[in-house]
Structure 1
């Protein structure tokens, strides 16, 4: 395989865009389908496809925000107006939100951990595919990914987990670099280098 300079250049500058900086236009249904086709091209030991997608667009995002607010108020009735608005708009920050659901389950040969990691790879590929399609994206989980009442609202069963909510849209904000780890802090070399 020869090196792909364009891909290397992209990886050197790849950034997530904060969800609050995402706006219309979002991808069309056809563009979303293309993004999803690219996203599933991940390592998947045993070809189990241990994940699935729920795509939220349009007014459904408003309904989800109202649901998030209702559940948040049940947990904490003292939320101030700003906190309530943050819950209400949680799914309208971007034109499209794709839930990646890990469907990992016991298998005689393939550990659940490998299946979960495959779902994580899908999340990152969604971001890569959205970026390659001209959109900005962000991978979030937030408290809703772990809340049984909310998960029931989006038909995630008890054996499944939300690997991420991938927010996709357009942005006019330039990407901002953040500090990255020094290799010396995260790499152990074994053998001749």
Structure 2
């Protein structure tokens, strides 16, 4: 790639910790930190595709810490954004040995409490984050987006409890294994 070409895929994460983890498995795509609630999403470089990755909270009580949820649709903050290749990406992650699922993702503006979890779970949403809808809204029309979250907390294992650190470290190891499938997803778009 010359200095004038835009990258094919840009992988973005809210936290430097998440970006460093996913970068371990990437060979061609850059991992970019967009900040808490994606406050730096407008600074993303031009690209052919974007993947939003990181940790998330399960809404579906069948999900366990370390499971990967790939968004079929990103909800929150406006019109839902469809992610038509979600099942293909989830299958690629499963082929790499990860427990991967597909389903709707919802972006919240704060840490979600139990009543909100139940309401979003009732509408079919499987995981919650704080960035994906903001990143999707910042993209130019026509740029494909994927969103995946590794479950750290959820029903039965709340975020602000002992055990979060252990679940977070396990989730970081899982996130580090998602890069190859993300790059295969982006290559298939070309």
Name the larger-Rg structure: 1
Same fold (TM over 0.5): no
- The TM-score with structure 2 as length reference comes to 0.31
TM-score, normalisation: structure 1 = 0.31
* Greater share of helix: 1
